Structure 1
Amino acid sequence: MSRQPDEVKTVPLTPEVYGYLVAQAEPQSPVQRRLVERTRALGGPAEMQIPHEQGVLLTLLARLTGARRIVEVGTFTGYSTLALAAGLAPGGQVLTCDVSPEWTAIAQEAWKEAGVADRIELKLAPALETLRALPAEPVIDLVFLDADKTGYQSYWEELVPRVRPGGLLLADNVLYGGEAADPGAKGNGLAIREFNARVRADDRVESVLLPVADGLTVARKR
């Protein structure tokens, strides 16, 4: 059946299609499975954990860029941090920012169990304070934003100048359940809509918004 050029080509993710999609990714490690189980036990906050296929993508992107310096804003229980650390080049380091000792304690146990704790530096402080204290030189290879949505633009402005040419900036939840597409969006949906407009207008990067999980922006520093 032929398709029109402007027709939606994204395949609807039924449970069957999604199960097939996940099956095409590298399988979860025992550490990842245990971390998912511990996170689910938290109840409602567990929805903040990225899905496994997104973690596989983070690892792959870190490897493709040869990343040695990664900055993550928003640690939660550390699944994404674990994925990023797995993709580091030898001698590389992930700096991850959060404000929750409770959630990051779970993360630290998983990192230790996976044997990557020595590759991860956790900063428990408001992320803007941590980012503003970083050297101004453009030496960061990869950034992953997955924190408070109203802070995305501020984090972006601190990080873009510190990313090397050719480095990547990734931002999660940029569809925000579809709310970002609504001109009448409010709250977090509006914050993400405004962030997306800022990224799209930023001539320091080239970017694309992908329908991965709740939306993932991939931007390359020019």
Structure 2
Amino acid sequence: MTDAPRPVTPVSLVAAELTDLCRTLDDDAVGAEAAGRLRRVRDLAAGLDPYLDAMTTPPSSALADLEERTRRHVWSEGPLEQEMLSGHLEGWFLRFLVGMTGARDVLEIGMFTGYSALAMAEELPGGGRVVACEVDDSVADFARACFAASPVGDRIDVRVGPAADTLARAARAGESFDLVFVDADKPGYARYLDLLLTTDLLRPGGLIAVDNTLLQGEPYCGAGTPNGRAIASFNEAVAADPRLEQVLIPLRDGVTLIRRARVREQPS
């Protein structure tokens, strides 16, 4: 039996803490009114993610199968875990980005088992492509096997190796992209963004979506891990960069949309 994913987003962490607290709640000690209010807060937090999933268009059979395979797989001790899956809600969010931007060429930096890559590929027009960067050979093979079961799996070009090296080769080859999704090693985010902005990899008017920019609440509650500190630093650098415009969306573990700043007319 597959273990349920552990809480890894700010909302799911709040829900888990409140659920544990309510299990030990002594109504007589805290008072009926306070206990009722605490359970109401728990229900607000715990019910949000399931409701969002239920009200979002169901995934394709290929995506549902990919998620099930990822959940069933036994990940050995190390950096890979089922919680790295983008999942249903974020998959549809990325599909909408592809459709709304009219993207034909998509770059993904950090693929894991390929849920987000396949979700975006399903939205692409004919002739569109997703170039997906993955550093781990075994997980790339896992993703390819899942893509083979999808009618749009051939739209995904998996490139294995350090992402910075893959990006440098793509830039030298003159490749460019309408949409870039970044979901890789957190200390590498700043370097990937710099490569996108200092080369022609990001087309004029292109959009960058960066995952995990709320990282379990660490950036605003106090970063206690290397990843948390890397994300906090990245967020601050993006917010201070006059070349950029950005919005941080509290979707799952945080998604920041970034584009080059647009020249605006000054009021007369």
TM-score by structure 1 length? 0.88
Query: 1: CA distance between counterparts of 2:136 and 2:44?
Result: 33
Contact 1:163 1:221 (C-alpha < 8 Å) held by counterparts: no
Query: 2: CA distance between counterparts of 1:184 and 1:109?
Result: 37
Contact 2:248 2:255 (C-alpha < 8 Å) held by counterparts: yes
Taking only the aligned residue pairs, the percentage that are identical comes to 41
Structure ID, larger Rg = 2
Offset of residue 22 of structure 1: 1.1
Which residue does 1:117 correspond to in 2? 153
Q: Name the aligned partner's letter for residue 99 of structure 1.
A: V
Query: 2: CA distance between counterparts of 1:88 and 1:202?
Result: 31
Could you tell me which runs of 5 or more consecutive residues in structure 2 were left unpaired when the two chains were aligned: 1-42, 76-80, 262-268
Query: 1: CA distance between counterparts of 2:151 and 2:245?
Result: 35
Alignment of 1:32-111 (within 5 A): 32-43=63-74, 45-111=81-147
Aligned residues: 211
Offset of residue 168 of structure 1: 0.7
Alignment of 1:180-219 (within 5 A): 180-183=219-222, 185-219=224-258
Q: Helix, strand or coil: the match of 2:170?
A: coil
- Of Structure 1 and Structure 2, the greater helix share is in 2
Q: Name the aligned partner's letter for residue 126 of structure 2.
A: P
Could you tell me which runs of 5 or more consecutive residues in structure 1 were left unpaired when the two chains were aligned: 1-11
Q: Helix, strand or coil: the match of 1:25?
A: coil
Q: Return closer, same or farther for 1:184/1:53 CA change in 2, 3 Å cut-off.
A: closer
- Shifted more, 189-198 versus 111-120: the winner is 111-120
Q: Helix, strand or coil: the match of 1:113?
A: coil
Which residue does 2:51 correspond to in 1? 20
Contact 1:138 1:164 (C-alpha < 8 Å) held by counterparts: no
Pair 1:160-2:191 in alignment = no
Offset of residue 184 of structure 1: 5.1
Query: What are the Cα deviations for residues 101-158 of structure 1, in whole angstroms up to 9, with x where unaligned?
Result: 2212221122121112221111111100010112366831001010110101011111
Which residue does 2:12 correspond to in 1? none
Q: Name the aligned partner's letter for residue 177 of structure 2.
A: I
Contact 1:94 1:120 (C-alpha < 8 Å) held by counterparts: yes
Q: Name the aligned partner's letter for residue 50 of structure 1.
A: S
Query: 1: CA distance between counterparts of 2:149 and 2:175?
Result: 32
Q: Name the aligned partner's letter for residue 191 of structure 2.
A: S
Offset of residue 14 of structure 1: 3.0
Q: Name the aligned partner's letter for residue 125 of structure 1.
A: G
Query: 2: CA distance between counterparts of 1:124 and 1:13?
Result: 41
